[in-house]
Each structure stands twice: as C-alpha cells, then as structure tokens.
C-alpha cells in the first residue's frame, strides 16, 4: 500500500554499518532502519542467537513460556532500573513500539478507574500509529484523518513545567491517570526534554497520583549512551527515583520486531491482569533471543561507553561544519539543524555521494537526523562529517531554501 511514498533504493545486503543496493552501490547507514539495527547488519551474535532459537523452538503461544521470554523480562528489569526493580515489577512483551505504548495506554486507563479520565502528553510527541498510540501522538496530519480517537488526551507545551502543574491542578480533584513523555522526542526532530523537566515531572505526577510513562522506544537500549536516555535526566545517583512505566522497541531486537512495556512496582504492574490484554506473537522466542543477544553484545563490547564517546565526537565535529546551525541529541541519536530548510535536498545529495553514499533522515525541513548502528566507528562518523559540506552545497543549489 502506498503509505510510505516511493522507496529511495532497493537494498539487498548489509554488513556492519554498511548497506548495498541492487546496483552494487555502498552506503554508510546512519539511520539503521530508524534507530533499529543497534548492532549494525549481519552481526554474528544476532545471527547465532536467532538461528539457534529457531532451530530449537520458533514460537509457542502465551499459554506457555520459554527460557528466552523469561530471561529477557528479567534482563529488561535490570537495564531499566540498574539500582534494582521494585518488588512485583512486570514486563509485557509486544512486537513494536506502538503496541508497547498501546499496552501502556490500556494500563493507565485502569489506574484510578473512571475517576481519572485525563491523560497528558506533550506537543511534538510521537507514540505510534495504532488508534490508542495515535491519540497520544501530537501531529494533526497523523491524527485528524482518523478521528474519533480514544478520548481524554491533552497536549501540553513542550518543556513547560508551569503548564504541567496547571494541568495536574486544573481537574476535578486529581483526575489525571498519566503523563506520557519521550525523554528525547525523536520524530519531532531529536528534542531532549530541558534540564530539570523530567525530575520535576516525576515529583508533580507523584504528588497528584498520576503515573509517569516514559516512551524510550527510540531513545532507549543504549542509543543515548546509557541503557535508558532518562538515566541521565533523573539526577539520582542511588537510582531510586523511577518512572512507573517504560516502553521499549526499535533497537531492542536489533532488527527483529519486538516491543516491551515495563511496569515498575507491584501496584502498577497489577493494573493489567489475566484476560485484560494479549498478543499472539508478543514474547516470541526468536525475537526474545534476538533482544537478549543485543543486550549481551552491548554489555560485552562496552557499547554504552563507545556510543557516548562516538556520539560526542560526532556532535562536536558537526558543530564546526558551516551551514549547521545547531546540534541536538545524546549518544548516537543526533540532529543537525541546518541554516536553511534544505534537509531533503541534502539527504538526497548524501545518498548520491561517491564512492560511498550516506543514509540519513530529513526529520524536519531544516533538520537531518542520524541514528546509526551503535557499533559505528569514529572513522565512519568522520567520513560523514567530511562529506557533509559538499552535500550542503548541493542541497543549497537544489533547494528552494536558497536565500
């Protein structure tokens, strides 16, 4: 179905941070399937995990469980809460980010029964495309053609704590079920929450009995140079200040489809009980084995530190490129804001670059997003920075943004 427009290339093969198209041209993949291929392409650890699991047991229904399913859930609790998950915490495994958020939406609807009909999200938020996740997504062009959507969602100005406080206090008693936040808004152009916002949002939601749901679908699993982007934002050395729910997907399976909703604490985790939610494929052992391989490899290859160093180097180098107005992000989730609205033209020029093209994403008219594999080397990042000025010139020449 023509929901994505015309594909830019037919890709046939990948290895590490590179992909090849059907004409044999090579590209440095700085998008990684939109923050998905955490270990790059054809990583031996991922291949082995998936092959071994499929050779043993490829699928069981959720009437049963598998070692991969259980081990992954335990491992997810560890990486979401390095200080230790509260007793009674639970994980729901799904197949995508939108499903993880859909599950979270259903869970928060159960909080407070009918007495808490309101759900808060931010302007610029992207939480997915199913009807519930879409109701939490701000962009009118995505949402409005599909109304009516599940009700009760209100969008607050990005990063505005006064607006949050007013929204929590304005209701009929404490009537907000939850606040959904992306620690770094990805689709809105890589916008990290301002300093101090998340900590204050945690205090305010707790004071009003509202759940705090963090959507780490794009920013989690090492992409920001931490296991979770919010770990750098809840300034709490002891790791005792926690969100109530965290959703994950994208990089988690390294390319296999998997999503997860992590509910912290007995009370929150008990909001969904037997029969209240379900999925046929969620927790599939092959996808779970892939996710375990991703997490093990990030640990074994010390990729969190690598992402931090490589990302800082890349951001610093991009700041020096004439025509780049600002650089945002954390780790290897980076946006370069350009001085002119020529991101599309620059991305097209980068794809055409010789001898190696570059896959990037024009996430906004003036912004290029990079979300490369976490294994990207410093040299590979540098090759992009070196190629960028020529692409900017080509983009300026082609673009309507020429002044």
Ligand X SMILES: *Cc1c(COP(=O)(O)O)cnc(C)c1O
**DSSP string for 208-271:** TT-EEEEE-TTTTTTTTSSSSGGGGTS--TTS----SEEEE-GGGGBTB--EEEEE-SHHHHTT
Is 197 a binding residue for ligand X by CB under 6 A? The answer is: no
Is 244 a binding residue for ligand X by CB under 6 A? The answer is: no
**Position among 37, 66, 98, 380 found at the interface with ligand X (CB under 6 A):** 98
Q: How far apart, in whole angstroms, are the C-alpha atoms of residue 114 and residue 19? A: 51
Is 102 a binding residue for ligand X by CB under 6 A? The answer is: no
SS3 of 172, please?
coil
Please, which of residues 62-81 interact with ligand X by CB under 6 A?
none
Question: Phi-psi region for residue 37, left (φ > 0), alpha (ψ -120 to 50) or beta?
Answer: beta
List 362's β-bridge partners, or say none: 368
Is 345 a binding residue for ligand X by CB under 6 A? The answer is: no
Q: How far apart, in whole angstroms, are the C-alpha atoms of residue 389 and residue 338? A: 11
Q: How far apart, in whole angstroms, are the C-alpha atoms of residue 178 and residue 397? A: 47
The DSSP letter of residue 31 is S
Q: Residue 249 or residue 264: which is nearer to ligand X going by CB?
A: 249
Please, which of residues 282-341 interact with ligand X by CB under 6 A?
none
Query: Residues binding ligand X: what is the number (CB under 6 A)?
Result: 15
Is 105 a binding residue for ligand X by CB under 6 A? The answer is: no
Residue 247 beta carbon to ligand X: minimum distance, rounded to whole angstroms: 7
CB atoms under 10 Å from CB of 145, counted, come to: 7
SS3 of 304, please?
helix
Residue 378 beta carbon to ligand X: minimum distance, rounded to whole angstroms: 26
SS3 of 85, please?
coil
CB atoms under 10 Å from CB of 315, counted, come to: 20
Residue 51 beta carbon to ligand X: minimum distance, rounded to whole angstroms: 24
Q: Residue 18 or residue 197: which is nearer to ligand X going by CB?
A: 197
**Position among 16, 33, 40, 97 found at the interface with ligand X (CB under 6 A):** 97
Least Cα distance to 218 among 94, 96, 304 occurs for 96
Q: Residue 34 or residue 161: which is nearer to ligand X going by CB?
A: 34
Contact present, 186 and 335 (Cβ < 8 Å): no
**Position among 53, 81, 96, 297 found at the interface with ligand X (CB under 6 A):** 96
Is 111 a binding residue for ligand X by CB under 6 A? The answer is: no
Residue 185 beta carbon to ligand X: minimum distance, rounded to whole angstroms: 7
Sequence-distant (≥ 6) Cβ neighbours of residue 67 within 8 angstroms: none
Q: Residue 214 or residue 387: which is nearer to ligand X going by CB?
A: 214
One symbol per residue from 199 to 228: x for binding ligand X (CB under 6 A), - otherwise; what is it?
----------------x-xx----------
Is 361 a binding residue for ligand X by CB under 6 A? The answer is: no
**Position among 14, 40, 186, 253 found at the interface with ligand X (CB under 6 A):** 186
**Position among 39, 120, 178, 182 found at the interface with ligand X (CB under 6 A):** 182
Please, which of residues 114-133 interact with ligand X by CB under 6 A?
126-128
* Max CA pair span of the chain: 63
Binding site for ligand X (CB under 6 A): 96-98, 101, 126-128, 182, 186-187, 215, 217-218, 249-250
């Amino acid at each position: 179905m023509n929901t994505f427009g015309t594909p830019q290339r037919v890709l046939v093969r990948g290895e590490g941070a590179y992909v090849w198209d059907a004409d044999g041209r090579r590209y440095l993949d700085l998008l990684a399937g939109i923050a998905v291929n955490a270990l790059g392409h054809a990583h031996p650890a991922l291949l082995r995990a998936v092959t071994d699991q499929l050779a043993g047991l490829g699928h069981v229904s959720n009437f049963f469980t598998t070692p991969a399913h259980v081990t992954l859930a335990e491992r997810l609790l560890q990486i979401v809460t390095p200080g230790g998950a509260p007793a009674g915490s639970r994980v729901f495994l799904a197949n995508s980010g939108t499903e993880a958020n859909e599950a979270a939406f259903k869970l928060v609807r159960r909080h407070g029964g009918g007495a808490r009909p309101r759900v808060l999200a931010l302007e610029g938020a992207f939480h997915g495309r199913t009807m519930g996740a879409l109701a939490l997504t701000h962009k009118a062009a995505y949402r409005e053609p599909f109304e009516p959507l599940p009700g009760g969602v209100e969008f607050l100005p990005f990063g505005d704590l006064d607006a949050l406080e007013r929204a929590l206090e304005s209701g009929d008693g404490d009537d907000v079920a939850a606040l959904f936040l992306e620690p770094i808004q990805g689709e809105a152009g890589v916008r990290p929450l301002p300093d101090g916002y998340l900590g204050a949002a945690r205090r305010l939601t707790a004071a009003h009995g509202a759940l705090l749901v963090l959507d780490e679908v794009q920013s989690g699993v090492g992409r920001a140079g931490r296991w979770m982007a919010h770990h750098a934002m809840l300034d709490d050395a002891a790791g005792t200040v926690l969100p109530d729910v965290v959703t994950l997907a994208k990089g988690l399976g390294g390319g296999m489809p998997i999503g997860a909703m992590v509910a912290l604490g007995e009370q929150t985790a008990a909001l969904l009980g037997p029969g209240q939610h379900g999925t046929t494929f969620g927790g599939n052992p092959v996808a779970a084995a892939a996710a375990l391989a991703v997490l093990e490899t990030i640990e074994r290859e010390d990729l969190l530190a690598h992402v931090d160093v490589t990302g800082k180097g890349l951001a610093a180098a991009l700041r020096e490129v004439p025509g780049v107005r600002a650089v945002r992000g954390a780790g290897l989730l980076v946006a370069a804001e350009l001085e002119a609205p020529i991101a599309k033209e620059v991305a097209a020029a980068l794809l055409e670059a010789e001898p190696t093209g570059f896959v990037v994403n024009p996430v906004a008219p003036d912004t290029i997003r990079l979300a490369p594999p976490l294994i990207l080397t410093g040299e590979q990042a540098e090759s992009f920075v070196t190629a960028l000025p020529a692409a900017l010139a080509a983009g300026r020449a082609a673009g309507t943004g020429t002044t």
